Amino acid sequence: MELHLIIEGRRGLAEQVYRQISQAIQSGRLAHGQQLPPSRLLAEQLGISRKPVEEAYRRLGYERLVLGQAGRGSFVNAPAAQAGKPPSPALLAANAALAAWREYDNPLRKVVDEARARYDFIGGSPAAQHFPEDDWRRAVNAALRAERVHRSRYADSAGLPELRRTIASHAAYSRGVAGDPSRVIVTNGAQQALDLLARVLLEPGACVAVEDPCYPAARQLFRSHRARVAPVPVDAEGIVVERIPEDARLVYVTPAHQFPLGMAMSEARKRQLLDHAARSGAVIIEDDYDSEFRYEGRPADSLQGMDRDGVVVFVGTLSKVLMPELRIGYMVAPEALAEPLAIARNLSDWHGPTLIQHAAARFMEDGSLLRHIRKLGAVYAARREALLAGFAGPLAPWFETVPASAGFHITALARRELDMPQLIRLARRMDVGLYSLEKFYAGAAAQQGLVMGYGAIDTLDIPPALERVRAVLQQMDS
Amino acid sequence: MELHLIIEGRRGLAEQVYRQISQAIQSGRLAHGQQLPPSRLLAEQLGISRKPVEEAYRRLGYERLVLGQAGRGSFVNAPAAQAGKPPSPALLAANAALAAWREYDNPLRKVVDEARARYDFIGGSPAAQHFPEDDWRRAVNAALRAERVHRSRYADSAGLPELRRTIASHAAYSRGVAGDPSRVIVTNGAQQALDLLARVLLEPGACVAVEDPCYPAARQLFRSHRARVAPVPVDAEGIVVERIPEDARLVYVTPAHQFPLGMAMSEARKRQLLDHAARSGAVIIEDDYDSEFRYEGRPADSLQGMDRDGVVVFVGTLSKVLMPELRIGYMVAPEALAEPLAIARNLSDWHGPTLIQHAAARFMEDGSLLRHIRKLGAVYAARREALLAGFAGPLAPWFETVPASAGFHITALARRELDMPQLIRLARRMDVGLYSLEKFYAGAAAQQGLVMGYGAIDTLDIPPALERVRAVLQQMDS
C-alpha cells in the first residue's frame, strides 16, 4: 500500500500521524478495506516511538476511519462505505419527527443547485451584473474599521442601532411605514421575520391564513410550527377577506405586489382587511419584498401606514433590492410586539453578523442603496417593457399578463388549458428557463400560468427568448 | 414655528416635502402639538402647487406623524407621544403568548448594554486586543472577490461547501469529531444549532435534560419550544446519568468543559451517557464551545468521536476561539439528521450571509484560525496561571477553584456561605467586575461561587484585581 507520512520535528507526533492518515482516507488515497501497517512497524519506519502511532491509530479508530480486526490488524473504513449504514436504533425513535420535517421541505430550497438556462426567467434573483460592487466593498471596509472599536461582545438582538435607524428611515421614505427605530427588528432575511412572528404568536394548532397562491417557504414555515394553514383565495383586488377563517391568529399577505400573481391590493380591500383584523384579533403580516421598484402611478400606501389599531407587522428585505446572500431582512412591529420578538431572536440565534449589519447601515446611510434602486429600476423598467410587449404581441394567443406595477417579475395566465410541464420541458430544450405558477398554490384552484422573473435576463435577450417560447407553443398546438 | 423646507428641482415635490417634515418630527425639531401651516400657505411659501403639499400632509397623516383636527388644522403627533399609548385591542388576544415570551427571556441577553469594570471577569468574551485584524480583513477581502462570481442566488442552507469542508477538518483535527462535510450544518452561532435541533426533535411537552448549572440561553430556548426542561445535577465527573429522566428526548451536555463549572466529563461517565442514550432513544447534544484552548494533558476524546450508535450531535462555534459577532456556529450530525436539519435551517432563515461564510472558510483554510488559537492559547495560559495563583494564595480562605484545563474561564466555589450580592456590589465599587455562579442554576441546589472569565482582562491586571477582591472579602468578614 501507499502510505507516505512526513514527520516534522519531535512535537505533536500523534497528531501528525493521525492527520496524514485521516486525510489520506478522506481524500480516497487510502481505499476502503486497505490494511494499515502494524503500529510497531510504522513507528520504526518513521523513526519515532510506538506510543504516538498507537495514539493516532486509536483516534482513527474512534472516528471509525480505521477498524481493528482481532488478530488480523487495522483496516481502512472509508466514509463512503459508512454512508450506506442504517440509522441508529436511537434515532428510530425520532423517525416520525424526521419524516415530518421532510414533508415541510421548501420546494424552492434546492434552487441553488439548479443550472440556469441561457435565457432564464427565474424569479426573485436580482440582476447580478448591476450589483454595485464598489459601493458595497467600500461599505464592508468601513464596517471592518468600525468593528475594531468594540469587539468580542454580543450585540443587540434587535439589530445594531445604526442599522435600525437607517431601516426605519428607508421604510418610512419608500413605503410610508410608520415606526421609530425601537420598533424595528433586524432579521436574517425576511424568512426569519416570519419565523419569529410564528414563534411569538402561534400556539400549536392555531390557524394562519395565507393567500393562495403564496410564497411556499412561508406556507411551509407556518406548517412546521404546527399551525393550521388556511389558503384563502385572491381576486383582482387581493385576498378575499370574507374567506379568512374567523379564528385566524395570523394573516400573511403581500399587498404591494401579490406573490406570485403581481397585482396590488386595492385600497378598499386593505381597509376591509384592517377592519377584519381589528375585529377578530388577528395580526397581519405585510410582506413587502420588492415594491421599492415601481413603474407606474403613485406608490400605494402600505397597510402598515394605514393601520390605526397596531395590528400590522411590516416585513421588508434587502434580498430583492440588493442581494439575497446578504441576509438582511427586517420588520417594523407594533410596540407591544417589539420586545417579545427581540427575545425570540435572541434565543433563536442572538443576532446576525455585525460586519454585515455595519456594512448595510453604511450602504443605506450614504445613499448607495437608493442610488442602486434608482439605477436598477431603470434597467428593470426596460426589461418589463420588453416582456409586456412580448406577451401583448407574439404570446397573446396563449397568455394574458396580470397587471402589476412593482417588483421584477410578472405573471402570465394561460388563456386556455396548456400542457405546462411539456411547455417548460420543450422551452428548456431551447435553452429558455420557464417557471410554472402552479407550484405556488396550496389549494385545488390552481391557475395555469408562468411566473416571469426579469432579474436574471437582459433586456435584449427577452424578445428572442419569447420568440422561442412562441415557437414551442405553436409546435404544441400543431 | 420653525419650518425650513428646501425644494430642489421640480420632481418628487411631495416626497421632498414629506421627507423633510417627517425628519423634523422624528428628530424632535418639530415638537408634539405644534401646528403645521395650512397646505395652501406652505405651497405659496415654497412656490409650488398645492397638490404635492396636500399629498405630503396626507402621507404624514397615514403615518400618524400629523393629526388633523377638523376646522383647526394639522398638528404634529410626535412618536414619543405615541409611545405611551396602550396596546391595541387586537393584540390583547395575543397577550398570554407575549407574556410567556417575556418569561423566556435569556438573562444574558442584555450583556451588550452593561458597562464593564476596569478589571472585568466577564465570561465568554474573547480577548479583543488580540483579534487578528489583518488576517481577518484579508479573508473578508478575498471573500468579496470570490462573491463577484456567483451573485444573486440563495445558497445551500446547510452552509457553503468550502466552509463545511474546513469545519469538518477543524472539528476532526481539534476535537476528534468524525463526520464528512455532508453531515456538517453551518449555523448562525451555536445557539441556532440548538434551536434547529429543538425544532426537529422536540414535540411540545417533550422532555429535555440539561445539566444543572447550565448555559441559560440554552435552557430558555428549550422552554420556548414548550419542552419540559429537566435540570440534572452534575458531580466532579459530569452529569449524573442516573438522574436523567427516562423519557428525555434530548440530553444537552458540555463534556469538554462543563459550562459554567469547568470540569471535564470523565471517560467512564461518557460511556455511561452514551449507553443511556443508545438504550433510551435520546439524542445527545455535545456543546463544545471553547475546548480548542487547552492547557494540561491530552485532549479528551469528544463524545461524538466515541459514539458508535449515531446518537451524538456535536455543536461547535467560532464565537469563543475567534469572536461572537461573527455568528459562525456549526453542528456535525448523524447522517439521518443532516437533511431534516438543513430543511429546518432553510425555513428558519435560508442561510447565513455568504460573505461571512466565505471569509470564515478562507480564514480557516489558510491556517489563520489555528495560528490564532495557538497564539491566544499562550496568552490565556498566562492569565489562567495568574488567576489560579490568586485563588491558591490571597483568596484561598474564601474560595476553591474547580479543576478545569480548557477554555477561558474558571469557576471558584465559596468555601463557606458568603453574601454574594454584597461581594459583587462592593467589588464593583472597586472597579472589579465579578459574576455570580448562582444564576446558571435552574434547580434549588445552587452552589455559591464566581465564574471568572479571563478573556477581557490582561494578565498583569489579574493580581491587583484579585487583591481588591481580597480586600473586599476581608472587609465583609470584619
Average pLDDT, chain B: 90
Give the residue from B154, B352, B333 showing the smallest Cα distance to B250. B333
| A355-383 pLDDT tens trace | 999 999 999 999 999 999 999 999 999 99
Counting one residue from chain A and one from chain B, the pairs whose CB atoms sit within 8 A come to 341
| A147-165 pLDDT tens trace | 886 667 889 999 999 999 9
The per-residue pLDDT for B84 is 45
Q: Are the CB atoms for B340 and A98 separated by under 8 Å?
A: yes
Nearest CB to A112; choose among B156, B309, B327: B156
How are beta strands A73-76 and A35-36 bridged, if at all?
A: antiparallel
Residue A115 contacts B, CB cutoff 8 Å: no
Domain with CATH 3.90.1150.10 in chain A: 110-127+371-477
Mean pLDDT of B229-257: 96
Rounded Cα distance, A398 and A429, in Å? 20
More confidently predicted of B36 and A273: A273
Query: Is the confidence at residue A301, as pLDDT, over 60?
Result: yes
Cell of A332: 417594523
Mean pLDDT of A42-63: 85
Collect all residues of chain B within an 8 Å Cβ-Cβ radius of residue A152. Answer: 125-128, 131, 323-325, 455-456
* Residue A129: closest C-alpha in chain B: B151
Q: What is the ipTM, given to two decimal places?
A: 0.83
| B17-50 pLDDT tens trace | 888 888 778 766 677 777 788 888 888 878 888 8
Classify domain A110-127+371-477 at the CATH class level: alpha beta
Distance of CA A213 to the CA centre of its chain: 18
Collect all residues of chain A within an 8 Å Cβ-Cβ radius of residue B274. Answer: none
Q: Do B154 and A281 touch (CB under 8 A)?
A: no
Name the least confident of A18-27, B186-195, B230-239, B422-431. A18-27
Residue B67 contacts A, CB cutoff 8 Å: no
Domain with CATH 3.40.640.10 in chain A: 131-366
Collect all residues of chain B within an 8 Å Cβ-Cβ radius of residue A169. Answer: 23
CA distance A200 to chain B (A): 6
Query: Is the confidence at residue A5, as pLDDT, over 90?
Result: no
Collect all residues of chain A within an 8 Å Cβ-Cβ radius of residue B321. Answer: none
Residue A65 contacts B, CB cutoff 8 Å: yes
- On whether the pTM is more than 0.90, the answer is no
Q: Do A157 and B109 touch (CB under 8 A)?
A: yes
* Residue B115: closest C-alpha in chain A: A153
Q: Do A349 and B192 touch (CB under 8 A)?
A: yes
Q: Do A26 and B180 touch (CB under 8 A)?
A: yes
Residues 256-315 of A with CB under 8 A from B: 277-278, 280-283, 298, 301, 305-306, 308-311
Which 8-state DSSP code applies to residue A241?
A: G
Q: Do B97 and A26 touch (CB under 8 A)?
A: no
Q: Do A97 and B203 touch (CB under 8 A)?
A: yes
The per-residue pLDDT for B79 is 64
Domain with CATH 1.10.10.10 in chain A: 13-76
Grid cell 455568528 — which residue? B327
Query: Is the confidence at residue B90, as pLDDT, over 60?
Result: no
Handedness of CA B292, B293, B299, B303 (dihedral sign): negative
Average pLDDT, chain A: 90
Residue B351 contacts A, CB cutoff 8 Å: yes
* Domain B13-76 bears CATH identifier 1.10.760.10: no
CA distance B91 to chain A (A): 6
Rounded Cα distance, A302 and A317, in Å? 15
Residue A13 contacts B, CB cutoff 8 Å: no
Q: Do A131 and B144 touch (CB under 8 A)?
A: no
Fold classified for A131-366: Aspartate Aminotransferase; domain 2 (3.40.640)
Cell of A123: 424569479
Residue B73 contacts A, CB cutoff 8 Å: no
Q: Do A172 and B339 touch (CB under 8 A)?
A: no
Residue B382 contacts A, CB cutoff 8 Å: no
| B390-446 pLDDT tens trace | 999 999 999 999 998 899 999 999 999 999 999 999 999 999 999 999 999 997 789
Report the first-to-last Cα separation within chain A, whole angstroms: 64
Q: Are the CB atoms for A459 and A386 separated by under 8 Å?
A: yes
Nearest CB to B90; choose among A224, A278, A306: A278
Rounded Cα distance, B177 and A128, in Å? 38
Collect all residues of chain B within an 8 Å Cβ-Cβ radius of residue A157. Answer: 109
The per-residue pLDDT for A39 is 87
CA atoms within 13 A on the CB side of A438: 11
Q: Do B343 and A102 touch (CB under 8 A)?
A: yes
| B340-391 pLDDT tens trace | 999 999 999 999 999 999 999 999 999 999 999 999 999 999 999 999 999 9
Rounded Cα distance, A257 and A296, in Å? 13
CA distance B178 to chain A (A): 5
Nearest CB to B104; choose among A140, A203, A347: A347
The per-residue pLDDT for B103 is 85
The per-residue pLDDT for A3 is 65
